[in-house]
């Protein structure tokens, strides 16, 4: 069921039939009794969760559907359906679809965020969107919430997932994620893997008719109902077929199993025995990350820079062109040796094997780059690192954070927790941030 996308080959979407069945038994999982489905656009709820909703309603569960955006982006140039009329049409389609699935119209809620600009975690309206969702669902008090897959290849989908997780962080609410656009993944980094999440399949053959009719209710997205906008969105047959099968797919974050301790040096020495780190310079993904890092820097040149987590030195080689003096550190002896060999012709780089934060270097810097290392640190070590980095930065100096965002259950930290914690320091101001190609980047400046 991977629909011939090679990027899904090692993901949980490659063989859906092999996934365990998602149980809707209320005795063993009573949290289904109050469920909320959060959809980025009118139709996502029917496409990805229509079978689940129909089965829950048959079982007598309470289900609310929340549509995050107004849906006005599907036909932006239609004269017959200007914005207000299009929004009303898509709202009516969503209510009709919900009714088919057994959900009362009064249990369908519209938050009217702008289609194409649902605020993600770094956007100005994010906090308000989180509060709006919480307020909308206050009465239901859901015990299970459905959100789009966290890297679903659409900014509104990913932002909606971030809103849901922020709204129910540190709660007992069960959050499941559903795929819509990740079937068209453009890289393996977008796909769900067994290291990050648990995959589930839900048989829906007994409610296939209801789901099909609910999807068809969104006629503006499937037909020429609005036919005067050549740029309009219309779901292609090869896309629609993914949602017409006998099963739906869901993902659930794995519980954190790692102890709150920094990973030891042996972990990184073993990692650098494998082929992947040594191929870093040849990897298109690594090159893309390096372009992001270099593009995020605000200065064309720095006097003295510190790179923490230099690996085999490919990014170090490129950073050297932007610095008078670069000190590059890594915990792995193998990595440092390889980096020194790779950059032996560059006189302005010094490589050292040092373990951060216990072996912090002397001196001050006008650039500190922390690349991936934060994921491997305990909370105590992360706190120490933040203090050391701030102390080492010259006034106006920059701290660039870049970390891989998929949450790995066997690592002490997650990219967002690392970045949010460091950025919260009062001595630092936030210059810019972005989430792209599976990474989060934040540029901070010493006040």
pLDDT digits 0-9 by tens, 289-304: 899 899 999 999 999 9
Please give the residue that has the higher pLDDT: either 105 or 287. 105
Which H or E run includes 420?
A: helix 415-423
Per-residue pLDDT, 146 = 98
Q: What are 234-278's pLDDT values in tens digits?
A: 999 989 999 999 999 999 988 765 556 777 767 676 666 654 444
**In which band, very low, low, confident or very high, does the pLDDT at 7 lie, cut at 50, 70 and 90?**
confident
C-beta separation of 329 from 356 below 8 A: yes
Interatomic CA distance for residues 403 and 310, integer angstroms: 13
Read off the pLDDT of each residue in 301-315 and give the average, rounded to a whole number. 95
So what's the pLDDT on residue 319? Answer: 97
Average pLDDT on 302-328 reads: 96
Model pLDDT for residues 144-165, shown as the tens digit of each residue? 999 999 999 999 999 999 999 9
CATH superfamily of 265-446: Vaccinia Virus protein VP39 (3.40.50.150)
Q: What are the distances in angstroms from CA 174 to CA 97, 216, 253, 283, 412? A: 25, 29, 10, 37, 21
Cis preceding linkage at 114, omega within 30:
no
Give the pLDDT band of residue 281 (cuts 50, 70, 90).
Answer: very low
Amino acid 169: pLDDT? 85
Q: Where are the alpha helices (DSSP H) in 102-259?
A: 126-136, 155-167, 208-216, 237-240
User: Average pLDDT of 401-426?
Assistant: 87
CA 316 to the chain's CA centroid: 27
Cβ-based neighbours of 304, under 8 Å, separated by 6 or more: 323, 324, 325, 326, 327, 363, 364, 365, 366, 367
Cα–Cα distances in angstroms (integers) from residue 413 to residues 81, 179, 227, 257, 410, in the given order: 48, 25, 49, 11, 9
Are the CB atoms for 400 and 367 separated by under 8 Å?
A: yes
In 19-61, the DSSP E strands lie at: 34-39
Lowest mean pLDDT among 190-199, 204-213, 281-290, 425-434: 281-290
Instruction: Locate the domains of the chain by residue range.
Output: 6-253, 265-446
CATH class of 6-253: alpha beta
At 3, the pLDDT band (50, 70, 90 cuts) reads low
Identify the weakest region by mean pLDDT among 77-86, 204-213, 399-408.
399-408
pLDDT for 260: 67
What global pTM score does this model have? 0.75
Can you tell me the distance from the alpha carbon of 13 to that of 194, in angstroms, rounded to the nearest whole number? Answer: 10
Rounded to a whole number of angstroms, the distance between the first and last alpha carbons of the chain is 52
**What count of other Cβ atoms lies within 10 Å of the Cβ of residue 73?**
17
């Amino acid at each position: 069921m991977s629909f011939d996308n090679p990027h899904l080959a090692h993901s949980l979407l490659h063989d859906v039939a092999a996934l365990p069945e998602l149980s809707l038994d209320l005795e063993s999982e009573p949290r289904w009794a109050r469920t909320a489905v959060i959809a980025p656009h009118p139709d996502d709820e029917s496409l990805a969760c229509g079978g689940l909703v129909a089965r829950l309603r048959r079982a007598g569960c309470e289900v609310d559907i929340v549509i995050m955006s107004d849906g006005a982006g599907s036909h932006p140039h239609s004269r017959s359906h200007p914005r207000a009329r299009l929004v009303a049409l898509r709202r009516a389609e969503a209510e009709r679809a919900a009714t088919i699935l057994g959900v009362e119209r009064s249990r369908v809620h519209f938050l009217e965020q702008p289609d194409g600009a649902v605020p993600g975690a770094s956007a100005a309206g994010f906090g308000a969107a989180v509060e709006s969702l919480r307020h909308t669902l206050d009465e239901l008090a859901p015990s299970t919430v459905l959100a789009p897959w966290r890297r679903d290849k659409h900014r509104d989908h990913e932002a909606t997932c971030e809103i849901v997780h922020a709204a129910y962080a540190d709660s007992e609410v069960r959050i499941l994620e559903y795929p819509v656009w990740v079937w068209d993944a453009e890289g393996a980094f977008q796909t769900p893997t067994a290291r990050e999440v648990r995959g589930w399949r839900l048989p829906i053959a007994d409610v296939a008719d209801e789901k099909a009719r609910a999807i068809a209710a969104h006629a503006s997205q499937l037909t020429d109902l609005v036919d005067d906008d050549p740029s309009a969105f219309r779901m292609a047959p090869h896309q629609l077929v993914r949602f017409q099968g006998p099963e739906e797919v869901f993902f659930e974050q794995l519980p954190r199993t790692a102890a709150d301790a920094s990973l030891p040096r042996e972990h990184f020495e073993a990692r650098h025995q494998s082929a992947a780190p040594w191929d870093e310079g040849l990897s298109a993904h690594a090159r893309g990350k390096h372009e992001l890092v270099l593009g995020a820097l605000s200065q064309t040149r720095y006097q003295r820079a510190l790179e923490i987590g230099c690996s085999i030195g490919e990014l170090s080689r490129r950073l050297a062109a932007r610095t008078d003096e670069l000190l590059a550190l890594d915990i792995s002896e193998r990595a440092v040796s390889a980096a020194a060999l790779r950059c032996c012709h560059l006189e302005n780089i010094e490589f050292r094997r040092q373990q951060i934060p216990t072996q912090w270097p002397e001196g001050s810097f006008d650039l500190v780059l922390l690349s991936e290392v934060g994921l491997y640190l305990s909370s105590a070590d992360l706190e120490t690192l933040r203090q050391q980095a701030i102390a080492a930065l010259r006034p106006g100096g920059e701290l660039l954070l870049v970390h891989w965002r998929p949450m790995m259950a066997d690592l002490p930290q997650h990219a967002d927790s690392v970045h949010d914690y460091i950025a919260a320091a009062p001595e630092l101001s936030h210059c810019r941030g972005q989430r792209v190609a599976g990474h989060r980047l934040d540029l901070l400046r010493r006040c």
